Structure formats: structure tokens, C-alpha cells
Amino acid sequence: MTSYILKRLGAMLVTLWLIVTLTFFLMHSVPGSPFNEERTTNEAIQKNLEAYFHLDEPLYVQYGIYMKSLVTFDFGPSIKRSSDSVNAMLERGFPISFELGFITLVTAIVSGLFLGIIAALRHNGFVDYLAMTIAVLGISIPNFVLATLLIQQLAVTYEIFPAATWQSPMHMVLPTLALATGPMAIIARLTRASMLEVLTQDYIRTAKAKGLSPVKIVFKHALRNAMLPVVTVLGTLAASILTGTFVIEKIFAIPGMGRYFVESISNRDYPVIMGTTVFYSAILIIMLFLVDIAYGLLDPRIKLHKKEGR
């Protein structure tokens, strides 16, 4: 197990390095510049700015400088907001995005699993159709439409919740609802499909024959197996939700990380593009790693270590 983890860690670092390198060169190959506004600064000023951010050096030198500071976890200063560093932006934005993402994930997983399970248990019954109708709606309605609808109805017309910004738990309700519906629907459908498959298997019949209670059969025997596909999607889902979602954060004016991903690219704010990409990739890689570990825990037949497998 330990050697497996070490091996994986090594592979993760290589993956991350590849992502950093690719992003770095791709980003610089896109035309445009961070100092590019309708109002033109004169050449002298432009040159000074470029020198300050090492943008006048050859690309490989810039790459070297960047990798050197990256090793010390220093993402550098933002070009657009010169008094702000990328580290500070991440430290500020991530906890908020994480908070929203975490509540959303819990909501989505709990409700998704429930919908999926009861749909599977009442296969082709009314409950099944109802649950799947909700799931299909959840998948087909884009979250920005849902968000606007929620604000218009629950905030403006009925004044139950605040319309936007991120201050109190009350402010968290609408964005969580808007953000959780999509993942909930995905999880519900996956759970239903794999539950249906698992429920017809022999070992479930055996369990039934042994006289186990339905609750025990569902939660102890069926769900554990049925969870595998759900866990698979959870890795990528968690990484993208936890690091902020541009659209929802924009609509609800939540000061999370989401905006940095998008704005940095249109601003050609190179250090911010790199910082957010590295950060997101690191989280994604870690999540995928956790998913692999979780496989082993859920299903003893999946062996993480080759020798144990043989």
C-alpha cells in the first residue's frame, strides 16, 4: 500500500509538471498582452512594465524564473492588480469557493443518493418516474437559468432569501440550490442505474433468502457496490465545484475563485492564469487519487497493490 501511494505521488508530480509546462507555453502562444487597453500607454511605460514582470526576457528564461518560484509555492504578483499577489487572491477566494462547494457537494450527494435509491427500489413505478423526472430536469436546466429563476422568485418576489452577495448562511441557500441541482441529478441517475444492476445479482438474492431486512440489504450490500460509478464521477465533480464556479459566483456576487479563472485569461494576466491552473490541477489530481483509494475501501476485490492482488 505504501509503495503504491509513493508511486502515485511521483506520478502526480510528473502530471502536474506536464500541466504547468503545457499551460505556460500555450498561454504565451495566445496573441494579446496584459497591457492592452483601449487607452494606449506609451512605449517607455510599456517597456518598464514588461521589464518589471520579466516579460521582455526570452520565453525559456521566463519559464525558468516561474518554475523556480513555483517550487517555493510563490505564484508571483498579479499583473492587472499590481498590489495583489496571486497567493493572496487564492487565499482569499478559495475558502469561500470551498465553503460553497462543500455545502453543495454534501447536498448533491445526499439528495442524489436518496433519489437514486428510491427510484431503483420502485423501478418503473410512480416514485421512479417522479424521481427521474426531477433528475432529468436537474440535468437539463442550466444552473444560470435556475439561479436567475431562484433569485427572481425567492428573493425578489417572495423576499425569503437575500438576492446576492456572501455574508450570512441565509445568503448561501440560493447559490447552493442552483449549484447542487445539476450534480444531484447526475448522482441520482448513476445511483439508480447501478443499483438496478446490483439488485438483480445473485448475492442480493442470497441475502434476501437469508432473511435480511430490506434496509440492511440496500445499505450494506447493494449500495456499497452501486456506489462505485458515483465515486468515479465525484472526483472530477468535487475538484471543479470546490475551486469555484464562474457563472454561479458571478450571478450571486460571491467573491470566490471562479472569476479569476475566466478574467485572468481575458486579461492575459499570466501569473494568475498559471496560479489558478496549477491550483485547480493539483486539487483535481488529489481528488482522483482519493477516488482510487476509495475504490479499494468500497470494494475489496479491487486491489491497489499488485502483490496483494496475486
Partner 1 sequence: MKKLSMLLLIIMVFALAACTANENAGTEKKEGEDKNSKKEKILYLNNESEPTSFDPVIGYDIKSWDPLNNLMEGLTRLGKDNKPEGAMAEDWKVSDDGKTYTFNLRKDAKWSNGDDVTAGDFVFAWKRLLNAETGSGAAFLGYFIEGGEAYNTGEGTADDVKVKAVDEKTFEVTLTSPQAYFLSVITNPAFFPVNEKVATENPQWFAEADSFVGNGPFNLTEWVHDSHFVMKKNDTYWDKKSVKLDQVNWAIIDDRNTAYQMFQKNELDVSAIPPDLSEQLMKDDKVKIDDQAGLYFYRFNVTMEPFQNKNIRKAFALAVDQAQLVDYVVKNEHKPAYGYVSNGFEDPSGKDFRETNGDLIKTDVKQAKELLEKGLKEEGYEKLPEVTLTYSTLDTHQKIAEAMQQMFKDNLGVEVKLASVEANVFATDQKALKYQFARSSFIADYADPINFVENFQTGHPNNRTGWGNKEYDQLIKDAKNEKDEAKRYELMYKAEKFLMEEAPFVPIHFYNQVSLFGEGVTDIVRHPVGYMELKWADKN
Answer yes or no whether residue 152 interacts with partner 1 by CB under 8 A: yes
3-state helix, strand, coil in the chain (%, to 5): 75, 0, 25
- Number of helices and strands in the chain (H, E): 14, 0
Question: Considering only residues 206-225, where is the footprint of partner 1 by CB under 8 A?
Answer: 214
Q: To the nearest whole angstrom, how small is the minimum distance from the Cβ of residue 55 to partner 1? A: 12
Residues contacting partner 1: total by CB under 8 A: 72
CA 299 – CA 196 distance, rounded (Å): 18
- 53-59: which pairs have CB atoms within 8 A and are 24 or more residues apart? 53/77, 53/79, 53/270, 53/271, 55/270, 59/25, 59/28
Among 15, 62, 107, 240, binds partner 1 (CB under 8 A): 107
**Cβ-proximal residues to 96 (8 Å cutoff; 6+ apart), any chain:** 166, 244, 254, 255, 256, 257
Query: Residue 1 or 170: which CB sits closer to partner 1?
Result: 170
Question: Considering only residues 247-306, where is the footprint of partner 1 by CB under 8 A?
Answer: 250-253, 255, 259, 266-268
Q: To the nearest whole angstrom, how small is the minimum distance from the Cβ of residue 260 to partner 1? A: 9
Question: Considering only residues 30-89, where is the footprint of partner 1 by CB under 8 A?
Answer: 30-33, 36-42, 44-45, 48-49, 52, 80-84, 88-89
Answer yes or no whether residue 110 interacts with partner 1 by CB under 8 A: yes
Answer yes or no whether residue 131 interacts with partner 1 by CB under 8 A: yes
Q: To the nearest whole angstrom, how small is the minimum distance from the Cβ of residue 66 to partner 1? A: 20
Q: To the nearest whole angstrom, how small is the minimum distance from the Cβ of residue 290 to partner 1? A: 24
Q: What cell numbers appear for 8 in the block?
A: 502515485
Answer yes or no whether residue 127 interacts with partner 1 by CB under 8 A: yes
Answer yes or no whether residue 115 interacts with partner 1 by CB under 8 A: yes
Query: Residue 121 or 290: which CB sits closer to partner 1?
Result: 121
Q: To the nearest whole angstrom, how small is the minimum distance from the Cβ of residue 174 to partner 1? A: 9
DSSP state of 300: T
Query: Residue 70 or 101: which CB sits closer to partner 1?
Result: 101
Question: Considering only residues 159-188, where is the footprint of partner 1 by CB under 8 A?
Answer: 159, 162-173, 176-177, 180-181, 184
Q: Which stretch binds partner 1 (CB under 8 A): 16-24, 103-111, 190-198, 281-289?
A: 103-111
Q: To the nearest whole angstrom, how small is the minimum distance from the Cβ of residue 191 to partner 1? A: 12
CA 91 – CA 257 distance, rounded (Å): 9
- Nearest CA among 100, 66, 114 for reference residue 244: 100
Contact criterion met (CB below 8 Å) for 90 and 165: no
Which H or E element spans position 289? helix 270-298
Query: Residue 217 or 242: which CB sits closer to partner 1?
Result: 217
Query: Residue 121 or 193: which CB sits closer to partner 1?
Result: 121
Q: Which stretch binds partner 1 (CB under 8 A): 101-109, 199-207, 230-238, 271-279?
A: 101-109
Query: Residue 70 or 180: which CB sits closer to partner 1?
Result: 180
Q: Three-state SS for 181?
A: helix
> What angle is formed at CA 265 by the lines to CA 281 and CA 58, rounded to 5 degrees?
90
Contact criterion met (CB below 8 Å) for 241 and 233: no
Query: Residue 42 or 72: which CB sits closer to partner 1?
Result: 42
Q: How many CA atoms lie within 13 A of 238 on its CB side?
A: 20
Torsion of CA 7, 12, 15, 21, to 10 degrees: -120
